[in-house]
Structure 1
C-alpha cells in the first residue's frame, strides 16, 4: 500500500493500512484483500519478482478495493468486481512497465470507472456505503488540519488522525516528499479559494488530494523540481475543478494527467540539457561569478571495463547516481582512470554505462560530481588540478 504515495517502505504501507481503519474497518480489510489478490496474480503470471516485492502490482488494487467499499454496499457482486478489478490492475501495470510508460494510478482509475458504470447499471445498492468521506465536525478548528485531510483523502479517509498517520508514513520514508506534498496542498487551497470552491470541501481536503500526489511525485533535490511541483499542482487542481463542474467522478485522474505532463517536460529538459549544456544541478557554486563558465562534457556513454583503460571526457552528456564530489580548477577536460582490483572474464567484457541526466557548466570553483557504476574507479584531471581526498571509490551495482 505504500506505493499509493510512491513510497517503497513496508512500515509506511502499514501506517496507511492503519489509517484506513479510522473510517472503515471494512475498507481496510477489502483493500488488503485486493492487494493480496493482485500480488498473487502477479506471482501466478510470473511477472518480475523485484516489482512484486516493491509492491508495484498491489497498490492500484488496494485503491480499487477502497473505492468499491466507499461507493457501494458490501455484497457478493461488489466483491466479485473488486477481485476481477484487482487482477486486471496487475495486468495493466505489467503492460505499462513493459512499455516503459508511467502508469501512476491510471489502472485504478480506468478499472474503477468501468466498475462504477457496470455496478450502477446493475442497480447495486449504495445506501449502506460508508458515511461522509470527511469528518465535518472537525473542520474549521485550525487551518493546519487541511493538509492532513488532503493526505487522507487520497485513500478515501476523512478522519484527521488518518491523515496525520498518512503524513507520518510518508515522512518516515521521505521527509522531502512530505514537505512537497504539504506545499502542493497550500498551492491548491489558494487556487480553490480563488475559484470559489465550497469552503467545507477545501477544508476537508477534497480540493487538494490530487495536488498532494502531484507534489510527492515531483519531490526532488533540484531547484527545477520545485517548478515541476507548482506546474503539476496547478494543472491537477484546475483540471479537478473543471471535471467537478460536470459532476465527473475524478478519482486521481487530475494527478495522473498532471504527471504525464511533467514527465513530458522532463524529457524535453533532458533534450535541452544535452543540446545546450544547461545546468539544473543544485550543488553548483560560483565563488567568482565574473569568471566565464567552462563546459564539462563527455566523450562517450560507455567506458570499457578493462584494467587501466582511459577515457577523456569531451562530448555532451551527464550522469546518473551522482556521488563523489570533486573540486575543479579551471579545467574543461577530465580523464577517468578505471581500475579493477580482481578482474574476471565477466567484468572484463561488460561495459560500464554512464546514463545521462544532466550536463552543466563550471567555473574555477564549481563542484563536479561523478559516479561510475560497478567496481573501483579513479578520477583525475587532465588539465590543472582536481582536489579529491577519496579518489578511489567502490560501489556495488
Structure 2
C-alpha cells in the first residue's frame, strides 16, 4: 500500500469515512482555511501510524486510518490552542503516540465503538499539560468568509469538527462528504442544522450555536447513527443528545471537544440494545405454552 494512502484515510476517518478523495479534501480544507494548523495535522497523521507500526498493531487497522484520526485531531487541537514552539511539537508527538495505545485498547473491546474517545481524553490531558508548561496561547482565529449568521452556523457545524472557523471550509467539507456518501452528507447537514433548532428551543447560548460548536457534535452524531434507513429515530435521538450534553460537559470546566458526540452515540446504542432485548424477551414469552 502506498504510504500516502493510510495518511489520507486517517483524515477521512475523522468523519467516519474510508475514502481517499475525502481525506484529500479535508487536507486541502485545512491548508485553505487555517495553514497554521496544517503542520500539526501532518505531524499527527505521520506520528500515529508510525507509532502503531512500532507497537506492532494490526496492519489492516493502520492501513484504514484507524490509528491516524485521533492523532490528527490532537495535531489540530493543540496548535489551535497554543502557539508553535518546540514544546508544542513534542506535546503533539507524545499525545499522538499515546492515542495509539488508547485506541488499541478501545478497538480490542466489542462493547461500544471507539469513535473519538482517545482524542477527547488525551485532548483534555494535553490542554492541561500545555497550560502547566505555560505554552503561549495562540491568537484567536478570525472568520473572513462569515456573512449570514444562521447559514454560516450550519456550515461551521461541519468545519468546526476539525477546528476550522470558516463557512467556506464547511461547504467544501460537506461537498466532499456528499461525493463520498450521500446519506452521511444528508445527516451531517441535518445534525448541524438541527443543532440550531434544538439550541433555540432549549435556550442554549446562541453564540455557541452560531459558531458551530453545537453543530459539530450534532453533525458527527448524525453521520455515526443516521445510516440505517429503517431506524432514523436513532440518529435523531443521537443528534438531540449530542447537543443537549454539550453545555453539561462544558459546565464541568473542560472543553467539550467531541465528548458530547461520543456519549450521545453510546447512550443511543445502549438504548437500542436494551429495546431489542426487551422485544426479544417479549417475543419469547409470547410463544411459550
Q: Is the 8 A contact 1:31 1:63 kept in 2?
A: yes
Match of 2:152 among 145, 148, 152: 145
| 1:228 has 2:234 as partner | yes
2:226 touches 2:236 (CA, 8 Å); kept in 1? no
In 1, distance between residues paired with 2:134 and 2:125? 14
Taking a change above 3 Å as real, the CA distance of residues 44 and 205 of structure 1, as seen in their structure-2 partners, is same
CA contact (8 A) 1:23 1:157 kept: yes
Shift of the 272–174 alpha-carbon distance from structure 1 to 2, 3 Å rule, reads: farther
Q: Which residue of 2 aligns with 1:250?
A: 256
Which residue in the other structure is 1:266 paired with? 272
1:82 is aligned to 92
Match of 1:18 among 15, 18, 28: 28
Q: State the distance in 1 between where 2:92 and 2:280 align.
A: 46
Q: 1:59 to 1:130 in 2, by over 3 A?
A: farther
Out of 106, 121, 128, the position equivalent to 1:96 is 106
Alignment correspondent of 1:113: 124
More relative contact order in 1 or in 2 (CA 8 Å, sep 6+)? 2
In structure 1, the residue corresponding to 2:32 is in which secondary structure?
coil
Can you list the C-alpha shifts for 1:154-208, whole angstroms capped at 9, x where unaligned? 0000111210111112112211011111112222111212233443432221221
Structure with more strand by fraction:
1
8 Å contact kept, 1:19–1:162 = yes
- Structure 1: state its 5+ residue gaps: 279-397
Matched, 1:123 2:130: no
Tell me how many residue pairs correspond in the alignment: 275
In 2, distance between residues paired with 1:146 and 1:203?
5
Q: CA deviation at 1:269?
A: 4.0
Shift of 1:136: 6.8
Q: Which has the higher helix share?
A: 2
Contact 1:185 1:212 (C-alpha < 8 Å) held by counterparts: yes
Alignment partner for residue 35 of structure 1, among 29, 45, 51? 45
Post-superposition Cα deviations, 1:34-90, rounded to whole Å, max 9, x if no partner, equal 111110111122211111111000000000000011000111111111001101111
Partner of 2:195: 188
CA contact (8 A) 1:60 1:107 kept: yes
Partner SS for 1:201: helix
**For the aligned residues, what is the CA RMSD?**
2.2
Structure 2 segments unaligned to the other structure (5+ residues): 1-10, 285-289
TM-score (norm 1): 0.65
Q: 1:168 to 1:273 in 2, by over 3 A?
A: farther
5 Å-filtered alignment, 1:156-167, equals 156-167=163-174
TM-score, structure 2 normalization: 0.88
Larger-Rg structure: 1
> SS where residue 57 of structure 2 aligns?
coil
C-alpha displacement at 1:144, in angstroms?
Answer: 3.3
